[in-house]
């Protein structure tokens, strides 16, 4: 490691380089690599630690959410101070990760991954790691990975169960072909409905991280070729062979079509401007214009709201009990309802009312 020679950290990676399949050569590859981690909650925080501790040169983190007390049971990078400060997860994670390994270029984005930013976020990455909690974002990531030729390491957990698979453009099928686009509309078990065992998170993140290290160090022949699912409570582990690309799929098939109906459908739902987040009594409303947080803070304070503020967001507890969490990129998380019409009405009443603010 050229950048560590002569420093007190020169043996930082010694236990990793002594592992023969990695060696000094693999370590240099890690230092030159760039990884995008989408979602820095439970899986994502663990994945980020693995990548940063292993010495991946650039780690990009993207997360749209902020730290809450209910995260602390399983999201290993966060603590009570982060929750009290209502820090965005990407920011809180980056702070911790830079303290763990200052050699890594950690880039944090507080954003929702969408069709408008996903190409740029993934551009130049050797791998995309799935730390998300919903099928629609995963499908979007799978699409962009197959367009850009970047492997996508899928992971999902709920309860004591989890799944993981590595999707490689040109070798395996894409996520659309594996789970079907319809799942984005009909997610059954989520961490919010059935809870989640923290050890399941670490198990799945560990599987994802192992495949990531294999890929980044050039050990492609060692990649697991299976779709793996596990239940840690009953301990049942099942593996099935990864299917290859499907001929008529416009992402993983041989015959690439120019347009895709699923893509069109996604574009339409984005234009509606709201998303119900992972069954947790929260609606995300996208206003499509940047928000002036300083002025909104004053305005909402004058409307009888209880305000919490930091550099990254404003949280306003409304007199009616719901909370609005406002981000400068124009997103509003409306907490305390899963009724999207009602959430949009609250945004109109409290945010759009002051038109000059947006």
- What residues act catalytically? 191
* Residue 174 parent element (H or E): none
Q: How far apart are the two ends of the chain, measured CA to CA in Å?
A: 48
Asked if 177 interacts with Zn ion (CB under 5 A), we say: yes
Asked if 140 interacts with Zn ion (CB under 5 A), we say: no
Tell me the closest approach of the beta carbon of residue 152 to Zn ion, in angstroms: 12
Interface residue with Zn ion among 249, 278, 285, 287 (CB under 5 A) is: 249
Alpha helices in 18-56 (DSSP H): 23-32, 42-54
**Residue 234, number of CB atoms within 10 A of its CB:** 8
x/- letters, 116..135, toward Zn ion (CB under 5 A): --------------------
Asked if 174 interacts with Zn ion (CB under 5 A), we say: yes
Q: Which is nearer to Zn ion, 28 or 147 (CB)?
A: 147
* # of chain residues touching Zn ion (CB under 5 A): 6
Asked if 252 interacts with Zn ion (CB under 5 A), we say: yes
x/- letters, 194..233, toward Zn ion (CB under 5 A): ----------------------------------------
Interface residue with Zn ion among 251, 274, 299, 350 (CB under 5 A) is: 251
Asked if 178 interacts with Zn ion (CB under 5 A), we say: no
β-partners of residue 165 are 154
Q: Which is nearer to Zn ion, 94 or 252 (CB)?
A: 252
Q: Which residue has the tokens 């990129």?
A: 329
Q: How does strand 152-158 pair with strand 161-167?
A: antiparallel
3-class secondary structure, 182: helix
Q: Which residue has the tokens 């399949």?
A: 21
CB 66 within 8 A of CB 88: yes
Give me the helix-helix angle, 198-216 and 23-32, nearest 10°: 100
In the numeric block, which tokens belong to residue 192? 């919010």
Asked if 145 interacts with Zn ion (CB under 5 A), we say: no
Q: Which is nearer to Zn ion, 38 or 167 (CB)?
A: 167
Which span (69-77, 243-251, 283-291, 317-325) binds Zn ion, by CB under 5 A?
243-251
Q: Is 321 left (phi over 0), alpha (psi -120 to 50) or beta?
A: left
Tell me the closest approach of the beta carbon of residue 336 to Zn ion, in angstroms: 38
Q: In what order do the strands lie in the sheet with 314-317?
A: 274-277, 282-286, 331-335, 323-326, 314-317, 306-309
Which span (14-22, 195-203, 242-250, 262-270) binds Zn ion, by CB under 5 A?
242-250
Q: Which is nearer to Zn ion, 177 or 207 (CB)?
A: 177
Tell me the closest approach of the beta carbon of residue 248 to Zn ion, in angstroms: 9
* Residue 274 parent element (H or E): strand 274-277
Q: Which is nearer to Zn ion, 146 or 312 (CB)?
A: 146
Tell me the closest approach of the beta carbon of residue 179 to Zn ion, in angstroms: 10
Q: Which is nearer to Zn ion, 175 or 283 (CB)?
A: 175
Which span (14-22, 83-91, 166-174, 280-288) binds Zn ion, by CB under 5 A?
166-174
Could you give the C-alpha distances from 270 to 123, 134, 135, 186, in angstroms and in order?
A: 22, 15, 15, 17
Asked if 144 interacts with Zn ion (CB under 5 A), we say: no
Instruction: Using CA atoms of 71, 76, 78, 83 in order, give the dihedral in degrees to the nearest 10.
Output: 20
Residues that bind Zn ion (CB under 5 A): 174, 176-177, 249, 251-252
């Amino acid at each position: 490691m050229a950048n560590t020679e002569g420093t007190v950290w020169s043996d930082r990676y010694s236990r990793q380089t002594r592992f023969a399949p990695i060696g000094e050569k693999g370590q240099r590859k890690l230092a030159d690599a760039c990884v995008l981690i989408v979602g820095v909650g439970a899986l994502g925080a663990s994945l980020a630690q693995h990548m940063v501790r292993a010495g991946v040169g650039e780690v990009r983190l993207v997360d749209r959410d902020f730290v809450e007390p209910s995260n602390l049971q399983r999201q290993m990078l966060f603590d009570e101070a982060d929750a009290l400060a209502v820090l965005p997860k990407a920011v809180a994670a980056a702070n911790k990760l830079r303290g763990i390994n200052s050699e890594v270029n950690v880039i944090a984005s507080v954003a929702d991954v969408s069709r408008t930013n996903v190409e740029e976020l993934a551009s130049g990455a050797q791998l995309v790691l799935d730390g998300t909690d919903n099928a629609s974002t995963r499908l979007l990531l799978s699409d962009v990975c197959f367009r850009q030729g970047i492997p996508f390491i899928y992971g999902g957990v709920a309860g004591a169960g989890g799944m993981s698979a590595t999707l490689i453009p040109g070798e395996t099928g894409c996520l659309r072909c594996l789970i079907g686009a319809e799942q984005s509309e009909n997610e059954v078990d989520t961490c919010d409905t059935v809870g989640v065992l923290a050890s399941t998170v670490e198990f799945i993140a560990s599987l994802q991280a192992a495949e990531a290290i294999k890929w980044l160090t050039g050990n492609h022949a060692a990649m697991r070729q299976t779709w793996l699912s596990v239940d840690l409570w009953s301990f049942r582990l099942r593996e099935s062979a990864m299917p290859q690309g499907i001929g008529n799929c416009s992402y993983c098939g041989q015959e690439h079509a120019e347009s895709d109906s699923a893509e069109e459908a996604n574009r339409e739902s984005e234009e509606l401007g709201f998303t119900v987040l992972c069954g947790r009594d929260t609606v995300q409303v996208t206003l499509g214009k940047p928000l002036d947080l300083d002025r909104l803070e004053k305005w909402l304070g004058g409307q009888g709201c209880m305000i919490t503020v930091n550099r990254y967001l404003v949280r306003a507890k409304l007199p009616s009990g719901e909370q609005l969490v406002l981000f400068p990129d124009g997103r509003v998380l409306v907490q305390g309802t899963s009724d999207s019409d009602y959430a949009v009405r609250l945004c109109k009443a409290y945010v759009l009312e002051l038109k000059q603010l947006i």
